[in-house]
Amino acid sequence: MKTLTKTLLAASILAAGSANAGYKIDIDDKSNITFGGYIKVDTRFVSGDIAYRDFWIGNGAVLPEDQSQFRIFADETRFNTKYVNGDLMGFIEMDFLGGGGNQIVSNSSKPRIRHAFIKYKDFTAGQTWTTFMNTAAIPETADFAGATVGLAFIRQGLLRYSKNGFQIALENPESWGGDSSKDSMPDVIARYDFKGDWGTISVSGLGRELVTQLGKKEMAFGGSIAGKLKVGDKDDFKFQAHFGEVGRYIGVGASPDVIGEEVEKVTSYLGAYRHFWTDTMRSNVFFGNITSDVADIDRNQWGVNVFEDITKQLTLGFEVGQFTMKGPDADSFYGQLSLRYML
């Protein structure tokens, strides 16, 4: 007989930062379907000489003078389903950040695939978070993902083997800034996770072949260390550091892989401390930075927030912060009020 129960889906599968509630339907002893996701409504105000965005990424449009803009939107809202049949699991998730909306008539937004993968025992195939990315090290923020300049952050097609904390994967190549039409070798990523009562730390290595604009093939290598450390009974410190020829894997569009005929070298880091004031109220303070060698970019973002769980499913949050591009000497401040209902 089918039964319906409330469960939790793992953060590493679903989303940045926190586990997501879901409704589980048991089909039989080995099979079940889980539905989850959240509805998120954001009220955002941005002021400065970097143009408004619903959330900051690694680059922005520099304005000739300061400008302010206000918006209310719900595009981050997402829905997912997980299908389990013994050792076989399938997972699909979509949100509404696919564009297409306007303020004139209906403000429609197109759904898009975030995750779509199959997992059988120790093997994963499909589109999901890159193996180079440690989702446990993403801070809790109102701004989507928060301080993206310091994050490893990509979803892409991959084939991955995982065993006892070790992961190795072949992932989609993309010579951003070069001739990606000639990418013929998959990116190779290896990672090992250390876990204990103190928290978790991952160490990752990336190797790939990049193709320049003139068709020259260059080998590129990079590394990453990221984790979440427990502080006291409930607090935690999340961190990430990335270095080498990691290009598009870091900073959400901050730096191409190839500049002209040169492979770009990047250094980025992120730190975030979360403090629980009560069982239902907490605050995060975070800072992220990315710099590059050839293009000489320098971007950073900081933020401070407070979240209150009004009920087990409903969370209210407020955040203020600043995004800075040091090259053009531009910055914008933002304030964001978020309401999230966990399905």
pLDDT in tens, 4-62: 666 655 433 434 434 455 799 999 999 999 999 999 999 999 999 999 999 999 999 99
pLDDT > 90: percent of the chain: 87
pLDDT of residue 12: 39
Q: What is the mean pLDDT of residues 94-118?
A: 87
Looking at domain 38-75+105-342, its CATH class is mainly beta
pLDDT of residue 330: 97
CA distances from 1 to 6, 32, 64, 108 (A): 17, 12, 65, 40
Continuous segment of H or E residues that includes residue 11: helix 11-14
Please list, residue by residue across 179-214, b when 16 or more beta carbons sit within 10 angstroms of its beta carbon and e when fewer do: beeebeebbbbebebeeeeebbbbebbbebbbbbee
pLDDT in tens, 226-272: 999 999 999 999 999 999 999 999 999 999 999 989 999 999 999 99
Question: 334 versus 15: which is more confidently predicted?
Answer: 334
pLDDT of residue 211: 97
pLDDT in tens, 164-200: 999 999 999 999 999 999 999 999 999 999 999 999 9
Q: Where are the domains of the chain?
A: 38-75+105-342
Q: What is the mean pLDDT of residues 124-141?
A: 97
pLDDT in tens, 304-317: 999 999 999 999 99
pLDDT of residue 102: 78
